Amino acid sequence: MFKFLPGPRAGFALLFLACVGAIAFALFAQYYLLLEPCPMCILQRVAVIFTGLFALAACLHNPGACGYRAWGVLSALSSAAGFGVAARQVWMQQLPWDQVPACGPGLEYMMETMPLWNVLSKVLAGSGECANVDWTLLGFTLPQLSAAFFAGVIMWVLLLVWPRAR
């Protein structure tokens, strides 16, 4: 049905390159456009990095069909986590300003002073800087673009590991 798709190894290599491109754009936005990442943005970057690492591992490992499915599940799970964080941030950006939570401490300070579970719960609860819309591309905010990227990754992985007719 999808004869245009590459094989799993090439597909995971393309996914790895897409993740490298996404991180390169995030660094471009941070250092050239001077957009300081909020804690939710940093979690989304971590999800992209893990997705890319799983895709690279699948490409280098070159397993059979079951192995590709296992790597695909790991890639899809890390992308689903990133999608959840991005969706939460998009939701926060749509809130009226009187309902946006107050700005909290930075991620670095929280990592030094709190247990990891408390840091994650505080970051996912959101803060004021996560609700700011500082920049858009074609009318889409960075979290919206990030959510679209993660959704695309999940669809790509499903297409790659779906059993094909012989």
CATH number of 43's domain: 1.20.1550.10
Residue 165 near residue 1 (C-beta atoms within 8 A): yes
Closest CA to 104 of 115, 119, 91: 119
Q: What is the pLDDT of residue 102?
A: 65
Which residue in the block uniquely carries the two structure tokens 């673009």?
145
101 pLDDT above the threshold of 70: no
Number of domains in the chain: 1
- The pTM assigned to this predicted structure is 0.83
Residue 79 lies in a domain: yes
pLDDT digit string, tens, across residues 5-27: 778 899 999 999 999 999 999 99
DSSP string, 46-68: HHHHHHHHHHHHHHHH---HHHH
Q: Could you give the CA distance from residue 34 to residue 25 in angstroms, rounded to a whole number?
A: 12
Residue 166 lies in a domain: no
pLDDT digit string, tens, across residues 114-136: 787 777 777 766 666 677 777 77
Q: What is the pLDDT of residue 72?
A: 93
